[in-house]
Structure 1
């Protein structure tokens, strides 16, 4: 009997179905493994995925690097008087103060009397002037008489020479007496009084005496300052002082006011107390908007370091934008999906700015504030990869 062809044909189909069933069971027991990195963009080296909302919640601020220019840094400063425009007015002689013509804040002209001192020394000085005047007047009269007698050939030439000498000596004595009084002040309206004069025009910024007070010689009475020009006193770190030179512009800001000053002095020595470098800048105050002792904020424009790091094409970023990751110095550059840590090489720093020698073009957007949060996120991503 011959075998049934249909029976033989059915066997392979049944076997195939059984194999298919076994294969499906294998897949169910061992599901396919999802390829690593197929959907997780954080796995890309040095890249952090963050939405604009997440960036805002993290307090991350974004800005552009600064290209060219000299760079600036801000620091606190104080308005002070111009050292060359302030004078201390002292009593040249001791005595009692009988008049004060100016009070604090009032204006005074050069050579105007601001106080009168009464004393026996003043009387002696004034009396010496009066005596010298009288001697000079007598010497002049005697000289005139001798000149007439000599012209009439009545008096010898020797008497004329003696009269000339006496008149010259009297004139010198009067000048000396006047200079002694001038050194103390000037006439105070009475023989025993000396008026104290202001040596410069300005304002009274300090007064150390009251009416009726007895003062000694050289005691300070007033301070007069010409406030049309004031100085700006500030202190910079020794590493920043090399970028500050006389002539550098300084922007001064305080309470809604702003003006520009110029650096006039950079100390060659550190302050012994603060270990900082004193710097003085001068600013115009003819409008009277700046007060002595007022705290302000100064932004100093820095000079080139001379080695190419701080030239016109230099790229500068805030120091808050710089982070360190696995021994590399990086700056976080904004991308379409978040940030990427870009390795950089840094140059000189000045205040809160630092030169980027390489790694940035200057056209990028970078994280400038709270970039340390990105460093933390980068560390988490690297830990997941490991």
Structure 2
């Protein structure tokens, strides 16, 4: 029979062999591992956080806004050229051959429709005005004869045949008078003297070219002025057939050049390819009431493609930062901001499409997010001055 003292010695050994207990060392090691794991998790969570007060956020100039939901799906960029509206550029030509005796406008000056820009002294002008005066006199005489024949016919003195002849002559004289007026009107009319004709602007706008020289002898149809109404201009760009297939009239286009940026709309997508470039011409209408754009100026046209999914999310390009090889945006939290990794798509003008990482309900830093990136690199605590 085993003694009680021996049993007391063997029992702890047997329990240890069966795994029924844990030594004090093992317990300490497990507690240490658990604490380490919790510490690493906390460190991972905190390394993306920046602690800021509302006052610090305001002092840093950080603006907060919600992402845009349902935006565009991307852009197509292409070089373009500013051109005048085809209906807004007119050439003022000499309607008659002669000598220029007056020029009333210089380059850059504004003109109204119908303003006289130049006066030409011409023999043909004198002939046209003389013909108009003669036609007027013949018409007046024919009308007088018609009234006389009408009176004589009513008194049964003159036969009806004479009345018909007088009426016919008056009608023909009236037609000749209208023709003479139209011929003189087609030349511009006016001029202040029988042998002078004024060349008038057909539209309101500004003088953009003036090849005419005072005293110069010009032929009919010689260009004297070029007037442009540049309140509206167009941008002509060329796209590949694949890209042009995604563009429709009315599509938004962002036009940029030399620190200027303005939005326009596609007005025309050519149904044919250019024979030389094998590209598709696209024309964009652009408001130019403020004379922002100059004809012939090279620009960049970014065609903003509409979203096909209906639920796209986009953020300002200033909200995107790169932190430790990750693309992030800074989402507002009760204690400051947290860097949230996101996946981005194609740029959309000054915005970037976010394909994953945001729900659209967050509030994010839209300006000066680089400040948050810098604070994150310093440990996430902004200095309290």
- What range describes the TM-score normalised by the shorter chain of this pair? 0.5 to 0.7
In structure 2, C-alpha distance between the alignment counterparts of 1:185 and 1:97, rounded to whole Å: 14
Aligned match of 2:310: 312
Aligned residue number for residue 248 of structure 1: 251
Find out whether 1:211 has 2:219 as its counterpart.
Answer: no
Do the aligned partners of 1:69 and 1:311 also contact (CA within 8 Å) in 2? no
Paired residue for 1:120? 123
1:102-132 deviation line (CA, Å, top 9, x unaligned): 1111111111211111222222211111110
**Structure 1 counterpart of 2:227, from 193, 207, 224:** 224
* Post-superposition CA distance 1:327-362 (Å, at most 9, x none): xxxxx9779xxxxxxxxxxx99999x9x99xxx746
For the pair 1:148 / 2:151, whether they are aligned, the reply is yes
What TM-score do the two structures reach when normalised by structure 1? 0.61
- Distance in 2 (CA, whole Å) between partners of 1:315 and 1:290 is 32
Question: How far is 1:246 from its partner?
Answer: 0.8
3-state secondary structure, aligned to 2:253? strand
Partner of 1:186: 189
Secondary structure in 2 matching 1:93:
coil
CA deviation after TM superposition for structure 1 residue 151, in Å: 2.4
1:111 is aligned to 2:109: no
Q: 1:1-386, aligned counterparts within 5 Å?
A: 69-70=71-72, 71-303=74-306, 310-312=308-310, 361=356
Q: Which moved more, 1:219-228 or 1:283-292?
A: 283-292
SS of the residue 2:126 aligns to:
helix
- Looking at structure 1, the residues matched to 154 and 78 of structure 2 have their Cα atoms a distance apart, in angstroms, of 82
Q: Quote the offset at 1:166 in angstroms.
A: 0.8
The residue number in structure 1 matching 2:369 is none
Classify the secondary structure of the residue corresponding to 2:273.
coil
What's the CA shift for 1:139?
0.8
Asked if the contact 2:71–2:313 (Cα under 8 Å) also holds between the matched residues in 1, the reply is no
Secondary structure of the residue aligned to 2:87 is: helix
CA RMSD in angstroms, aligned pairs only: 3.6
Seen in structure 2, the aligned counterparts of structure 1 residues 106 and 234 have a Cα distance that, compared at 3 Å, is same
Count of residues paired in the alignment: 272
* Matches of 1:208 and 1:240, distance apart in 2: 42
CA separation of 1:222 and 1:334: change in aligned 2, threshold 3 A: closer
- SS of the aligned residue for 2:271 comes to coil
Asked if the contact 1:97–1:117 (Cα under 8 Å) also holds between the matched residues in 2, the reply is yes
1:264 is displaced (CA, Å) by: 0.3
CA contact (8 A) 2:188 2:200 kept: yes
Number of the residue aligned with 1:48: none
1:286-340 Cα offsets, whole Å, 9 max, x none, are 2222222233332211246xxxxx4335799xxxxxxxxxxxxxxx9779xxxxx
CA–CA distance in structure 2, aligned partners of residues 315 and 109 of structure 1: 49
For 1:76 and 1:348, locate their aligned partners in 2 and report how far apart those are by CA, in whole Å.
18
- Quick one: structure 1 residues 157 and 166, their matched pair in 2 at CA, closer, same or farther if it must change by over 3 Å? same
Cα deviation digits, residues 187-210 of structure 1 (max 9, x gap): 322222221111111111111211
- Whether the 8 Å contact between 2:75 and 2:346 is mirrored in structure 1 is no
Q: Does the residue aligned with 1:88 lie in a helix, a strand or coil?
A: strand
Cα distance in structure 1, aligned partners of 2:151 and 2:106: 57
Q: Distance between the aligned counterparts of 2:168 and 2:262, measured in 1?
A: 63
Q: Tell me by how many angstroms 1:152 deviates.
A: 2.3
CA distance in 2, matches of 1:68, 1:152: 88
Contact 2:97/2:217, CA 8 A, preserved across alignment: yes
TM-score by length of structure 2 reads 0.62
What 5-or-longer segments of structure 1 have no aligned partner? 1-51, 53-65, 305-309, 317-331, 336-346, 365-386
Q: CA deviation at 1:269?
A: 2.5
